[in-house]
Amino acid sequence: MAEGIAERLAAVRQGMAEAARRAGRDPGEVTLVAVSKTKPVEEIQAAIRAGQVDFGENYAQELREKMAEVSDPRVRWHFIGHLQTNKVKHLAGEAALIHSVDSVKLLEELEKRAAGKGLVQEILLEVNLGGEESKSGMTEAGLPEVIEAALLRPHLKLRGLMTMPPYFPEGEPSRPFYRRLRELRDQEQARLLGRAELRELSMGLSHDFQVAIEEGATMVRVGTAIFGAR
């Protein structure tokens, strides 16, 4: 499966650039996070050879194993999976960005681990906009409280928001969720009066990343369209 990765990456990058241009945005402001969960290291290496540097993983153990095998210093690892307090220990300082923080309890644990390692961990807060119980993420109503809690923690740097909408096979039904995340970000940014810069909007998957970019995504998390079905 390592063959074809460069071509599929190029196609995704082209689709991203087209979506950005449609929305009057600079394609350079959107980062492609290649989601490599369950895929072997050889496929990650093939993507690196094709110029990809941002990779997303969902499982803490798998992330650590892959980090140990892929020693390329250009690579930035993103943790995008469901976070559990007992798994946070190793993540702090390993993932360049943790996209899926969704509670004050997790913030506290991450702060403790980052402080212990003497580093500042960059994070996003995950919002569950579809109200699905099976999905992680805090409610919209809970967001201001968690933002305030994040800003009190000196070893955490809040960079923005992330969401994972309910799944529809077509991309278009995701649009209202992505638009809502952007509105929420703008609303919170205004409320914060410069106390934080919520620059990043991590939203968009293989089947709907163009829609997400049209709605303001700064990071798209694309797996299947690059590495094939899991």
For ligand PLP, the binding residues (CB under 6 A) are 35, 37, 58, 80, 164, 205-206, 221-225
Minimum CB distance to ligand PLP, residue 225 (Å): 6
Which of residues 98 and 156 has its CB atom nearest to ligand PLP in the complex?
A: 98
Which of residues 153 and 221 has its CB atom nearest to ligand PLP in the complex?
A: 221
Which of residues 83 and 146 has its CB atom nearest to ligand PLP in the complex?
A: 83
* Chain position whose Cβ is nearest to ligand PLP: 223
Which of residues 204 and 216 has its CB atom nearest to ligand PLP in the complex?
A: 204
CA angle 36, 38, 40 (to 5 degrees): 75
Which of residues 100 and 121 has its CB atom nearest to ligand PLP in the complex?
A: 100
Minimum CB distance to ligand PLP, residue 192 (Å): 25
H helices present in 31-164, as ranges: 41-49, 60-69, 88-91, 104-117, 143-151
Give the whole-angstrom CA distance, residue 65 versus residue 57: 11
Task: Give which of 57, 122, 63 is closest to 96, Cα–Cα.
Answer: 122
Question: Could you tell me the two tokens for 160?
Answer: 């923005």
Minimum CB distance to ligand PLP, residue 128 (Å): 12
H helices present in the chain, as ranges: 5-22, 41-49, 60-69, 88-91, 104-117, 143-151, 175-192, 209-214, 224-227
Minimum CB distance to ligand PLP, residue 143 (Å): 18
Minimum CB distance to ligand PLP, residue 152 (Å): 27
Beta carbons within 10 angstroms of residue 11's beta carbon: 12
Phi-psi region for residue 51, left (φ > 0), alpha (ψ -120 to 50) or beta?
A: left
